[in-house]
Chains A and B, each alone.
Chain A
Amino acid sequence: MGDRKSATGELTNGLVRSNPLLVLMVGLCSALAVSTKVENCIFMGVAVIFVLVCSNVIISLIRRFIPDQVRIPIFIVIIASFVTIVDLTLKGYFKPVYDRLGVWIPLIVVNCIILARAEGYASQNRVRYAAMDGIGIGLGYTAVILIMAVFRELMGTGQIVLFEKTIINFGTSSMPVIFIMFPGAFITFALLAAALQWYQDRRKPEEGGGS
């Protein structure tokens, strides 16, 4: 991580330069699994942003209180608590979404993105930056799964259904179903990662392949 210290810098950092999925390539399993439906991704993204920001803020607040030797258990307890809060709230108020996201909400606990930000960023930086970092990384994650979901849902089913309304409809017959399934997730992801790399290389040719 660099030493840049501007709140907006931290925000945009997560979107492009340190995009958790396309650049750092962490937290991929949930992204590949959830991105079959745009609607799922909206909720998943909000859940991840919420957990990321809350855990980042709390960890940054108590960073001097946390002994080094037991920091990982403490991080996990804090993250797991926020995940459980999200889990219970979705179960109570958004039952259909909760059913569809299934195990992926509880699994946010072990999402590498969140632990990595706690360990690598929040535990070493001031609250303001930790919060911005959480928002930035969270938005980066959400943006990527949304793009993936739009592509996959459209290619795989020929339509995008959002909150029980069909937003786009190509006609549902003879679409390549593979995009809805796991091979399609990998193909879509690889295309996006390549596109971002290409874009960055073109902008800063002297930096080449990054760090």
Chain B
Amino acid sequence: MFRYVLSLGLRLTLVCLVAAIGLGLTYSAVESRIVEMELEERGKAGKEVLAPLDAKPQEIDEGELAALQEKFPELVSVFEGIDENGNLVGYAIVVKGKGYSFFTMAVGVDMEGKVSGIEVVQHEETPGLGGSVVENSEFLYQFIDGGPEDFVLGEGIDAKTGATMTSRGLTDGVNYTLEIWRDITLKGGQ
């Protein structure tokens, strides 16, 4: 009886072991590529939302980001917008949000707290409904040059028919980034 159970256990263990080795090898082969892709995606969005300020994105250092993320769990990344003279002219803040489903958005905010650009990096909204809201910038244009006061849906920001959840989620997302912006700039910053 004991030997029988042992044999079952050993065979199962062996299969798991081989599987684990295979997965380990695969992971080590694609790991650097995954990190690269994620950084590239965020960096691209950061560049686009800072473009109206003629600034280039530069990711803030990890310690600073981790400290911010403790306060703002939905924060993905922060880029400083540096213009050609090397001055800090704004921030690109990448956050996760929830509309009908989850999305990631990048918002560019200048030093006065005005929104310079919005870009939805990734989303799972319903195609044709929420999906057309995040892909079509008509809705997102409403935020440009607004701030630093919070946006209110229905007052200045019109929700899209059939995509109330997405509209609300995006508005909350922008307000969230403004909150982060306030936190960064109030500290005096660099």
Residues of A within 8 A of B (CB): 36-37, 62, 65-67, 69-70, 73-74, 77-78, 80-81, 84-85, 88-89, 91-93, 95-96, 99-100, 102, 153, 156-157, 175, 177, 180-181
Asked whether, in the complex, the Cβ of B15 is within 8 Å of the Cβ of A88, the reply is no
Residues of B within 8 A of A (CB): 7-8, 11-12, 15-16, 19, 22-23, 26-27, 30, 33-34, 37-38, 41, 122-124, 126-129, 162
Q: State how many angstroms separate the Cβ of A173 from the closest Cβ of chain B.
A: 11
For the complex, give the distance between the alpha carbons of A102 and B122 in Å: 11
Cβ-neighbour of B15 out of A77, A84, A100, A175 (below 8 A)? A77
Question: Could you write out 28 A-B pairs with CB less than 8 Å apart?
Answer: A65-B11, A67-B7, A74-B11, A77-B12, A78-B15, A81-B22, A81-B23, A84-B23, A85-B22, A85-B23, A85-B26, A88-B27, A88-B30, A89-B30, A91-B34, A92-B33, A92-B34, A93-B30, A93-B37, A95-B37, A156-B127, A157-B127, A157-B128, A177-B129, A177-B162, A180-B127, A180-B129, A181-B126
Asked whether, in the complex, the Cβ of B12 is within 8 Å of the Cβ of A74, the reply is yes
| Residue in chain B with minimal CB distance to A178 | B128
With A74-B15, A99-B124 given, name 4 new contacts (CB 8 A).
A67-B7, A96-B122, A99-B122, A181-B126
Asked whether, in the complex, the Cβ of B30 is within 8 Å of the Cβ of A180, the reply is no
Asked whether, in the complex, the Cβ of A88 is within 8 Å of the Cβ of B34, the reply is yes
Asked whether, in the complex, the Cβ of A78 is within 8 Å of the Cβ of B34, the reply is no
Asked whether, in the complex, the Cβ of B19 is within 8 Å of the Cβ of A100, the reply is no
Q: Taking chain A's interface residues, is the majority helix, strand, or loop, or is none over half, making it mixed?
A: helix
| Residue in chain B with minimal CB distance to A74 | B15
| Residue in chain A with minimal CB distance to B122 | A99
| Residue in chain B with minimal CB distance to A40 | B127
For the complex, give the distance between the alpha carbons of A62 and B34 in Å: 33
Cβ-neighbour of B26 out of A36, A66, A88 (below 8 A)? A88
B-chain residues with CB within 8 Å of residue A78 when the two chains form the complex:
15, 19
B-chain residues with CB within 8 Å of residue A69 when the two chains form the complex:
8
| Residue in chain B with minimal CB distance to A69 | B8
For the complex, give the distance between the alpha carbons of A20 and B12 in Å: 29
Q: State how many angstroms separate the Cβ of A54 from the closest Cβ of chain B.
A: 11
Cβ-neighbour of A180 out of B8, B16, B34, B126 (below 8 A)? B126
Q: State how many angstroms separate the Cβ of B8 from the closest Cβ of chain A.
A: 5
